[in-house]
Structure 1
Amino acid sequence: MTLDELFAHAEALRAEIGKVVHGQEEAINLLLTALFARGHVLLEGPPGTAKTLMARSFAGALNLDFGRIQFTPDLMPGDVLGTSIYNFQTSQFVLTKGPVFSQILLADEINRAPPKTQAALLQAMNERTVTIDGADHSLGSEFLVVATQNPIEQQGTYPLPEAQLDRFLFKVNLTFPPQEVELAVLRQHAGEPLDFLSATSALTPLLDATTISAARQAIDDIVLDDDILAYILRVVRATRESSDIAFGASTRAADAIAGATRATAALNGRDFAIPDDVKQLIVPALQHRIFLSPSAEIERRSPAQVLENILNQIEAPR
């Protein structure tokens, strides 16, 4: 696949998802970047900001198997992975696969389940494999998690373990759209049936597994030059030295940004990366991987604000 063809596919996906999700262009771009960079995405925002709708629309625009898990406080790991059930007729255990055996998995309200259930996704997200009763089961290279969560100060939620947060390529903060966008949504829905699923069911699947694999191969052929790599590393290392951050980003985070930078360049029709590709990824790729110092928390500074300040202090390559 050529980069021009990849760019055309990306534009078509943006337009298709945009038929249902309005005013969230940045989030849609990050979802596409994660798809081609083989990463997972965490969508965070208050109820009613189209988190679940965005994930369903994203899946609806792709010809891939879709699974959904509604996380609740009583959800058990077996409800996610599946379990082996004894068949008395054959005198053998038979695996009943859970919803994790899908190509795109919507983990809805992931922070409403206790940590042991959240941790059931750790191996799946990192290795795209799950181990059940000592046997490994591959989930395939297309496996991608789109998780949603309400802010942790909402009632009845659990903070995600640090190890699981690090498995997400991006954390995207969703807010309410501008007034004109909300009005456009109301006008569109005023002329449609009062059926939530009708919007996503009208989407046309545009890309299948073969096309996505070819697009990823085109991205794999892009090589970042040393100036871009050094710039990424300077930003990541600065998070470890900032007085506003108690624990900075890891080497795995730097490597994840480098991979996403290659995908971003390709989605913009280029076979080379520029500093702006890096800049637009730093906040969504790092805001969930750093932990603010007590002084920064007292001053009510957000991870995004701290990261933006670091970006402003580091000179980008020319």
Structure 2
Amino acid sequence: MDLDLDKPALTGEDYRTLKELGEAHRAIRAELSKRIIGQDEVVEQVLTAFFAGGHVLLLGVPGLGKTLLIRSLAEILGLRFNRIQFTPDLMPSDITGSDVLASEGSERSFKFLGGPIFTNFILADEINRTPPKTQAAMLEAMEENCVTVAGHSYPLPRPFFVMATQNPIEQEGTYLLPAAALDRFLFTVVVDYPTQADELAMLFHTTSKFELPVARLLDEERVRRMLEVVRRINMRDQTLKYAVDLVRATRPSESRDLMVKDMVECGGSPRATQALILGAKARAALEGRDEATPRDVRSIAMPALHHRVLTNFHADADNVNSRDIVRKLVKEVPRPAGDEPHVEKVVRDGLGRKFMRWLFGEPQQAAGTAAS
């Protein structure tokens, strides 16, 4: 199969935009570092998802700077920002807006009044605390880039980026996002506690100084142009096939991996492959490169796949989660010819015995021990 993907698809203007994006990426990181201490991988994954045209679900306890991150990013990019606090009594119209009765002279008519979703950046804080009906309104906007009210569709601004958060600790009074809803997010990013050094630096900045200003580096038009260029980043046939093989390896019906067959209820859909491709292209573009490589695919495999791999009770019994499975597949799925070697460090603590046997093979029988 020849997909004819090896030929450059970028024009001279595209290359100028690509160079501008690479320079802007470094400048954005420098500006964000004025307010966000540490969390380098989280920042990089959020930027990758944004320029890939997707949305992000952040998993982490409160107080780790998630709101500050997206608000600062909106300021730097010159885009509008709104925060929506999801609560059990939040209604779909509180997000999308509604028709209101307006008077014009002696005539009265209904006029649509848009809600907070009509902006560029949305922080959907604790999205799992609102009922499924309200979640569905948000998810429709994420997928269709429009909202429907009283039978009329209203387009959302471009770019449109949602960063939703979930508190993984408290589950009382929450409505867990179903698998179909999780699949709408390009990435799911785990936000962990900062290191001791980062926490000390953060405390120094936040308790002894006012919030530092950040410079506006871009605007809507330039951001839209960059988003279009990301889609045209080159990707060779072998890299595309590698991404497909990686996703197919997560499906129990198609995988050759015994752990996947026994411990995975459902693997990634074609949307997972799209997430890998777009994420890899965005990662390459942010570095100013015109071609996405297998290394780019691997670099975003975890945030793109782990929320799309659903484990079963066998995995729960052996203390294996979807991140363990994705990590193993990234290591074992055959890579394209000529791809650079990559050594993975496997953390063994806390994994079940069955998983350890699959990962490292059966233990050798001690000499002199009789076979049972």
TM norm structure 1: 0.94
Instruction: Between 51-60 and 129-138, report the one with greater CA deviation.
Output: 51-60
| 1:1-318 → structure 2 map (5 Å cutoff) | 1-88=16-103, 90-151=107-168, 153-193=170-210, 198-199=211-212, 202-241=213-252, 242-243=260-261, 244-317=263-336, 318=339
Specify the SS of the correspondent of 1:68: strand
Specify the SS of the correspondent of 1:91: strand
Q: Please identify the structure whose Cα radius of gyration is greater.
A: 2
Superposition deviation, residue 75 in structure 1: 0.4
Distance 1:156 1:20 in 2: 33
- C-alpha distance after superposition, 1:288-316 (max 9, x if no partner): 11210211122222211110011111122
Distance 2:200 2:169 in 1: 29
Superposition deviation, residue 252 in structure 1: 1.3
Distance 2:73 2:165 in 1: 13
Superposition deviation, residue 42 in structure 1: 0.9
- C-alpha distance after superposition, 1:30-60 (max 9, x if no partner): 1111221111111110122222222222222
Distance 2:314 2:33 in 1: 40
- C-alpha distance after superposition, 1:36-95 (max 9, x if no partner): 111111111012222222222222222112111110111011101111112255310011
Distance 1:175 1:216 in 2: 29
Distance 1:237 1:39 in 2: 21
Distance 1:190 1:129 in 2: 41
Code of the residue aligned with 1:63 in structure 2: it is G
Distance 1:238 1:128 in 2: 31
Contact persistence 1:37–1:216 (CA under 8 A): yes
Contact persistence 1:44–1:51 (CA under 8 A): no
Closer, same or farther in 2 for the Cα pair 1:152/1:88, shift >3 Å? Answer: farther
TM norm structure 2: 0.80
Closer, same or farther in 2 for the Cα pair 1:238/1:4, shift >3 Å? Answer: same
Distance 1:154 1:176 in 2: 20
- C-alpha distance after superposition, 1:96-125 (max 9, x if no partner): 211111111111111111111111112210
Contact persistence 2:18–2:288 (CA under 8 A): yes
Contact persistence 2:60–2:167 (CA under 8 A): yes
Distance 1:301 1:55 in 2: 32
Contact persistence 1:83–1:97 (CA under 8 A): yes
Instruction: Between 53-62 and 226-235, report the one with greater CA deviation.
Output: 53-62
Distance 2:268 2:79 in 1: 33
Gaps of 5+ in 2: 1-15, 253-259, 340-372
Identical pairs, percent: 44
* Stretches (4+) displaced over 6 A: none
How many positions carry a matched residue from both structures? Answer: 312
Instruction: Between 77-86 and 88-97, report the one with greater CA deviation.
Output: 88-97
Superposition deviation, residue 211 in structure 1: 1.0
Q: In the alignment, which residue of structure 1 is the partner of 2:9?
A: none
Specify the SS of the correspondent of 2:223: helix
Superposition deviation, residue 161 in structure 1: 2.4
Q: In the alignment, which residue of structure 1 is the partner of 2:361?
A: none
Code of the residue aligned with 1:102 in structure 2: it is T
Q: In the alignment, which residue of structure 1 is the partner of 2:12?
A: none
Distance 1:275 1:246 in 2: 27
Superposition deviation, residue 156 in structure 1: 2.9
Superposition deviation, residue 221 in structure 1: 2.6
Specify the SS of the correspondent of 2:218: coil
Distance 1:276 1:59 in 2: 29
Instruction: Between 16-25 and 87-96, report the one with greater CA deviation.
Output: 87-96
Code of the residue aligned with 1:278 in structure 2: it is V
- C-alpha distance after superposition, 1:131-175 (max 9, x if no partner): 111111000330111111111644332211222211111000001
